[in-house]
Amino acid sequence: QVVWADLGGKLFWARFVATGSVWAITAWFLFVVAYSGRRSWLSGRSLALVLAPAAVMVGGAWTTHLHGLVWQAPTIAGFDGLALLSPSNGPLYLVTVGYGYLLMGASLVVLGAIFVRSRSVHRGQAGLLILAGLIPWVGNVAFYAIGRGRLPVDVTPLLFTATGLVVAVALTRYRLLDVLPVSPDVLL
């Protein structure tokens, strides 16, 4: 959205990034649940409870011009020679951030449990997945902690590239999808 000149273009790309971010976090959580062998968590009602808020949030981003629940009074503001989108965040935006943090936190707890109880290859897999999840999350927390006044652009979407590189190492070096941790309940 930095390159786009007009407000409409900047809003389109902000919606596009919001859509990708919400679904990336949701998919990450679902991947971690499946990876951990807790497939029962992905049954009908549980899956709907995870997917429905994400769908509402994405729908809210694309229709925010009607209700202002995601972004309110978006404008273009200058920052060090850049023309940036400068909206006020609405309540659904804040809920979206909280929901994302909840899913990321839950993912890290599940991965942490695998890391603590596992040995050898599974510990390496879990450790790399924890790192992969922490990279964009820490970047996002830093963005909000420092504030938009000092960091004009949220680099969290760019940090997903680093996440991809860490997952690539887990796939190649630790055979991430070849050797999955299996809980004792599944074995029985």
Per-residue confidence (pLDDT) for residue 162, from 0 to 100:
92
Least confident window among 22-26, 59-63, 122-126:
122-126
The whole-number average pLDDT for the span 19-32 is 92
Please tell me the distance from the alpha carbon of residue 117 to that of residue 120, in angstroms, as a whole number: 10
Confidence of residue 119 (pLDDT cuts 50, 70, 90): confident
Per-residue confidence (pLDDT) for residue 120, from 0 to 100:
76
Encode 50-75: b = buried (16+ Cβ within 10 Å), e = exposed: beebbebbbebbeebeeebbbbeebe
Please tell me the distance from the alpha carbon of residue 170 to that of residue 163, in angstroms, as a whole number: 11
Pairwise pLDDT comparison (175 vs 172), residue with the higher score: 172
Please tell me the distance from the alpha carbon of residue 28 to that of residue 132, in angstroms, as a whole number: 10
- Confidence check: pLDDT of 59 > 70: yes
Please tell me the distance from the alpha carbon of residue 83 to that of residue 77, in angstroms, as a whole number: 6
Determine the 3-state secondary structure of 180 from DSSP: coil
